Structure 1
Amino acid sequence: MSGRFSTPPQRDSWFAPLSIDMLIKVLKTSFFHPFIAWIVPLCFRAQNMHYDAAPMIVSIVWAAFISSCWIVGAINSRLAFGLPREVDLSEEVIVVTGGASGLGLLIAEVYGMRGATVAVLDVNEMENGEARGVTYYKCDVTDKQRVAEVAAEIERDLGTPTVLINNAAIVVGKRLLDMSVDEIEKSLTTNLLSHFYTLKAFLPALARSEVGGTVVTVSSVIGTTGAAQLSDYSAAKAGVTAMHKSLAAELRQTHPQIRTVLVTPGQISTPLFYGVQTPNAFLAPVVEPVDVAKEIIKAIDNGHNATIGSPLYARWIEFYNVLPMGVQAVARRLAGVDTAMQTFVGRKGTRLSEKNGSVIQPF
């Protein structure tokens, strides 16, 4: 792959935006929505149709079934995630790692404009120079000493942090045999160990906060499936997911006022994976950062514990590992997950050789 340079394929066809996620979204707000489901028997009744008529019976049974599913879903969510915490944005101090560009910058800007106090940690300067309500701190999250110093600076300058969004990541994009030990260590430190550094630095403040707190961990479906040329990244993201689940279990016992949000997206349309081929635009569409940001912001605003997977397959990816190995092999070939990185370019179309094979960019 050395010296290879290519640009992402263009999606020119009229049906390119169509995906299974869009279809499910339309169905959930229409055919699978309780309100719409009950409109049908009401319309039949308005036409003086008797209750024992077949269309009336079918429509009532369907509406009752859909309503039951929504009720069971609400009960399941309450049992799984508990009661929400109260969130007042004027009292929130939100820390975003890798927030100088991409998904992190989008979240930081939204909260800054809405009146929250936001601190961005990144090795790079912010793409927009500055944003309202956002304070930039130059920080390499792999430097645990600097992370601890910045944590103290933020508490002194802005107040006690209440939300930590661990978002920073890098992608090397090489086969294991082609990576140097330094590249492997840099990748694992940035994508995995940095989460421990930031949690050790900021979690005590969240525990002290009178309004509670929220920890957001941005992982990836690659941590479950693995992929060729992503051995380091996959290992780190698998570790991040396991770490988050263990942390959530600990906090439920010791600090129930702290909420946890795990984000496991598929391919996001950010420079982190620029040039990567989309395996299947219908079943596995590229996710826009704004869509992931909306889900994260919604979870934080509502004070919920949550798990966020996008697109649809990301919410069911755990079932992949229970499939027979032969079926898994066929699925991998059909999806193209192990050939997608062959067109990897990286941030802003920079050749890998010009960056020593490493591209640093917030997920």
Structure 2
Amino acid sequence: MNFALETLNVLVMSIYYTLEALIQLFVTLRRKSVAGEIVLITGAGSGIGRLMALEFASMGATLVLWDISQDGNKETVRLVKGKGATSVHPYICDCSNKAEVYTVADQVKREVGDVTILINNAGIVTGRKFMDAPDSLIEKSMEVNSNAHFWTYKAFLPAMIANNHGHLVSIASSAGLIGVNGLADYCASKFAAVGFAESVALELQATKKHGVKTTIVCPFFINTGMFDGINTKWPLLMPILEPDYVAKKIIHAIQTDQVYLYMPRSLYLIIALKNILPTKMGLLLGDYLGAFNFMDAFRGHGKKD
């Protein structure tokens, strides 16, 4: 190894990549086609999962829809067919159950083929303070929000690696980047999902499987009912996101091979500040943004029903 040459290379390439990133802020990137791809979406029976399926419906992709709710999945099938989807395959699957994931995955491979775009979207939230949350709910949060990603990757990533073609999408959360009062188990599960997805992405890079792309999605709270009742102190700076907007941004990120997608854009700055500010200043900023009180009026699906 030549220290001088390698250092020079890093400096030159750093300038190049910085300029490339700046240019991409102002230039519309070409979107790759998803026609002919086999797209599997977990949690497709409602919320963002359903909306992503609707976005894919007219793009010529084969849709594989996983959900624990048969009724929800049936409704998604009806809606995507109404939008023009011609190849739709619904499956009932509890993604927190490793054995069930592997069983249903084998069924998909036999009946549909090798999944080429995997979107880990299924998620749950307890919305309780850590000491008020039953152990069973804490375990379920980890099983659905993070462990399930392990099993789906194990099931579908080998074919992507063999073909050097595919896309792994992790729908995580801004709560996977910064702790939130009242969301200890949820934050832990989403931090795990982000760390796992980043590590697998690095493994793919290290083995030069550049044809397998990765996207990590970290949105602020979304107005789907999952976080019903939460509030934001400054909605212009940190708005509650509309589901249609989020779904469209995720599809765009997939089609442009965007590695990280944070929403809203202000989140990029907030996360950067978190990493460089003194702890007390970070706490002051968190208080200013209302981060300590996001969950004060939380109801969620469970309490709403």
- CA distance in 2 between partners of 1:186 and 1:78 (Å): 43
Which one of the candidate residues 91, 100, 105 is aligned to 2:50? 105
Alignment of 1:160 with 2:122, yes or no, is no
The answer to whether 1:351 aligns with 2:303 is yes
State the 1:339 CA deviation. 1.4
Contact 1:264 1:314 in 2 (8 A): no
Q: Within 1, Cα distance between the matches of 2:35 and 2:195?
A: 32
* 1:226 and 2:179 matched: yes
Work out the CA distance in 2 between the residues paired with 1:351 and 1:279. 22
Post-superposition, which runs of at least 4 consecutive aligned residues in structure 1 deviate over 6 A?
Answer: none
Deviation at 1:112, TM superposition (A): 2.1
Q: What are the Cα deviations for residues 227-275 of structure 1, in whole angstroms up to 9, with x where unaligned? A: 1210000111111111111111101122221000111111111111111
> Is residue 2:201 matched to residue 1:248?
yes
Is 1:149 the counterpart of 2:103 in the alignment? Answer: yes
State the TM-score, normalized to the length of structure 2: 0.83
Provide the C-alpha distance between the structure 2 equivalents of 1:299 and 1:75, rounded to a whole number of angstroms: 17
Q: Is the 1:141–1:190 Cα contact (8 Å) retained in structure 2?
A: yes
Deviation at 1:305, TM superposition (A): 4.3
Once residues 144 and 85 of structure 1 are traced to their aligned partners in structure 2, the CA distance between those partners, rounded to angstroms, is 37
1:7 corresponding residue in structure 2? none
Q: Match of 1:351, SS?
A: helix
Bigger radius of gyration among the two: 1
Report matched runs for 1:280-295 at 5 Å: 280-295=234-249
Residue 260 of structure 1 pairs with residue 214 of structure 2:
yes
Q: Is 1:85–1:257's contact at 8 Å kept on the other side of the alignment?
A: no
- Residue 113 of structure 1 and its aligned partner are, at CA, apart by 2.4
Structure 1: runs of 5 or more not aligned: 1-70, 355-363
How has the CA–CA distance of structure 1 residues 122 and 183 changed in structure 2, closer, same or farther, with 3 Å as cutoff?
same
Normalized against structure 1, the TM-score is what? 0.70
Number of residue pairs matched by the alignment: 275
- What are the superposed Cα offsets for residues 255-311 of structure 1, whole Å, 9 maximum, x if unpaired? 221000111111111111111112310110111122222222123223x24211110
Any idea what the Cα deviations from partners look like across 1:176-210, whole Å, max 9, x if unmatched?
11111111111111111111111111111222346
Superposition pairs of residues 115-264 of structure 1, within 5 angstroms: 115-124=60-69, 125-126=72-73, 127-128=75-76, 130=78, 131-132=80-81, 133=85, 134-209=88-163, 212-254=165-207, 255-264=209-218
Which of 258, 263, 275 is the matching residue for 1:321? 275
d(CA) in 2 for partners of 1:281 and 1:188? 30
Q: Once superposed, what is the RMSD of the aligned Cα atoms?
A: 2.4
Q: Which runs of 5 or more residues in structure 2 are unaligned?
A: 1-15
Q: Which has the higher contact order (CA 8 A, sep 6+)?
A: 1
Residue identity opposite 1:273 in structure 2: F
Distance 1:77 1:97 in 2: 34
What is the 5 A alignment of 1:273-312?
A: 273-302=227-256, 304-312=257-265
Identity %: 33
CA contact 1:172–1:183 (8 Å) conserved in 2: yes
> In structure 2, what is the Cα distance between the partners aligned to 1:256 and 1:178?
45
Identify if the C-alpha distance between structure 1 residues 271 and 113 changes in structure 2 by more than 3 Å, giving closer, same or farther: same
SS in 2 for 1:154: helix
Give the one of 331, 338, 341 matched to 2:285: 331
Offset, 1:154: 1.4
Alpha-carbon distance, 1:114 to partner: 2.0
